[in-house]
Amino acid sequence: MTAAGRIALGAACAAILAFLFIPVAIILTYAFAASNIQSWPIAAFSLKWFPETWANGEVRAALGLSLEVAATATAIAVVLGTLAAMAVHRMRFFGREVVSFALVLPIALPGVLTGMALNSYFVFWGIDLSFWTIIIGHATFCLVIVYNNVIARLRRLPGSLVEASLDLGAGPWRSFRRITLPMIASAVGAGALLAFALSFDEVIVTTFTAGAQTTLPLWIFGAIRLGQRMPEVNVVVFAVIAITIIPVLLAQRLMGAAGRLHK
């Protein structure tokens, strides 16, 4: 690539990064704004929102619930998604195409549809909306993300390795554990990370599948209406980013390293 090309590319990337992060920067800055109604520019700065938000029991409860939901949904998604990917990849069973297509639906279909359908379904069967209905709602798209990542990786792997392992006398479980699993680990990890992030921030499906429970996004929606406490929302986002930035970076480094071994 020419030097001019490199500069142009670099500039384009910088612009796009700026585009991605200016709103985030605004959120972080407004965590320090004194006024409870957001307006530009900030008239006065204040640190008062930090202790207030931390003292707010509802925030901590919502944050905790969101973490629990995301973790559980991701865990379910990892197990079921990996199994499904392996099944679809290896076996030829009737309706395979349909299953494959259906497994894209939760992501491809608008969240309001999934939410409505699940809501009606739960009501019909008399299932009370609760923690578990939220999980089910989230697990649908988390599963799809993990499934897609894993199956994409499986398609790129040579099947001969597993065959060789089986020929050499290792049972299917052992072959899976020592051959397949390490090879798909980074794909599973990437899928799990994305699924966790999506579940953590999900608001549309959750609106329909949550009863009186409040996840963080639902709390944020409420906080905006509760006497105009937008700065509390900004503080929460600030805290979440501060906490997640290091693990996300580390995870990317690890998966990048693992992924390269199998290019």
Partner 1 sequence: MPATWFCACYLAALAALFVSAFRRVDTMTGEILPVWTLANFRILATDPVYRTVALRTIGIAAAVTITDAILAWPFAYAMARAVGPRLRAVLMALVMLPLWSSYLARVYAWRLILAHDGALNWALHAIGLPRASIGYSNWAMWIVFSYLWLPFMILPVFAALERIPDSVLEASGDLGARGATTLRRVLLPMALPGIVAGSIFTFSLTLGDYVTPMLVGGPGSDFIGNVVYASVGVSNNIPFAAAYAVLPLLVMAGYLLIARRLGAFEAL
Partner 2 sequence: MRRKAERWATLAAALLLPALQGQAIAASPGMLQQIGPGEGTLNIVAWEGYAQDDWVKPFEQQTGCHVNRKYAGSSDEMVALMRSGGGNQYDLVSASGDATLRLIYGHNVQPINLALIPAWQHFIPQLKSANFNTVRGVHYGVSYEWGPNVLLWNTQKLQPAPDSWSVIYDKAHAGQITVPDNPIQIADAALYLASKQPDLGITDPYELTEKQMDAVVALLKQQRSLIKKYWALASDEIDLFKNGDVVVGAAWPYQTNTLKAAHVPVADTLPKEGVTGWADTWMLSAKAPHPNCAYRWINWVTTPKVQAQQALYFGETPANTLACKEMDALQAGSCSQYHADAPASYFDQIRFWKTPRTECGNGKDDCLDYSVWQRKWQEIKG
Which residues in the 208-237 window bind partner 2 by CB under 8 A? 211-212, 214, 222, 224-228
Chosen from partner 1, partner 2, none, partner binding at 45 (C-beta under 5 to 8 Å by type): none
Entry field: residues in the chain: 263
Q: What is the largest CA-CA distance in the chain?
A: 73
Chosen from partner 2, partner 1, none, partner binding at 62 (C-beta under 5 to 8 Å by type): none
Per-residue tokens: 62 = 């919502």
Closest alpha carbon to 129 in 205, 210, 66: 210
Minimum CB separation of residue 169 from partner 1 in Å reads 27
The owner of tokens 């995301």 is 70
The 67-106 site mask, x for binding partner 2 (CB under 8 A), equals ----------------------------------------
Q: Which residue number, 57 or 95, has a Cβ lying nearer to partner 1?
A: 95
The 36-55 site mask, x for binding partner 2 (CB under 8 A), equals xxxxx---------------
Chosen from partner 2, partner 1, none, partner binding at 169 (C-beta under 5 to 8 Å by type): none
* Cα–Cα dist 183/180, whole Å: 5
* Cα–Cα dist 81/83, whole Å: 5
Return the exposure string of 69-108: e unless at least 16 CB atoms fall within 10 Å of the residue's CB, then b.
Answer: bbebbbbbbbeebbebbbebeeeeeeeeeeeeeebeebbe
Minimum CB separation of residue 228 from partner 2 in Å reads 6
Chosen from partner 1, partner 2, none, partner binding at 211 (C-beta under 5 to 8 Å by type): partner 2
The answer to the question of residue 244 lying near partner 2 (CB under 8 A) is no
Closest alpha carbon to 166 in 152, 182, 180, 150: 180
Contacting partner 2 within 1-40 (CB under 8 A): 35-40
The answer to the question of residue 258 lying near partner 2 (CB under 8 A) is no
Q: Which residue number, 116 or 198, has a Cβ lying nearer to partner 2?
A: 116
Interface segment toward partner 2; rule CB under 8 A; list 13-21, 120-128, 166-174, 249-257 = 120-128
Q: Which residue number, 170 or 224, has a Cβ lying nearer to partner 1?
A: 224
Minimum CB separation of residue 68 from partner 1 in Å reads 17
Question: CB-side exposure of 65: number of CA atoms within 13 Å?
Answer: 23
Q: Is 82 left (phi over 0), alpha (psi -120 to 50) or beta?
A: alpha
Chosen from partner 1, partner 2, none, partner binding at 239 (C-beta under 5 to 8 Å by type): none
Q: Is 157 left (phi over 0), alpha (psi -120 to 50) or beta?
A: beta
Q: Which residue number, 36 or 100, has a Cβ lying nearer to partner 2?
A: 36
Question: CB-side exposure of 56: number of CA atoms within 13 Å?
Answer: 21
- The footprint of partner 2 (CB under 8 A) covers 35-40, 119, 122-123, 126, 128-129, 211-212, 214, 222, 224-228
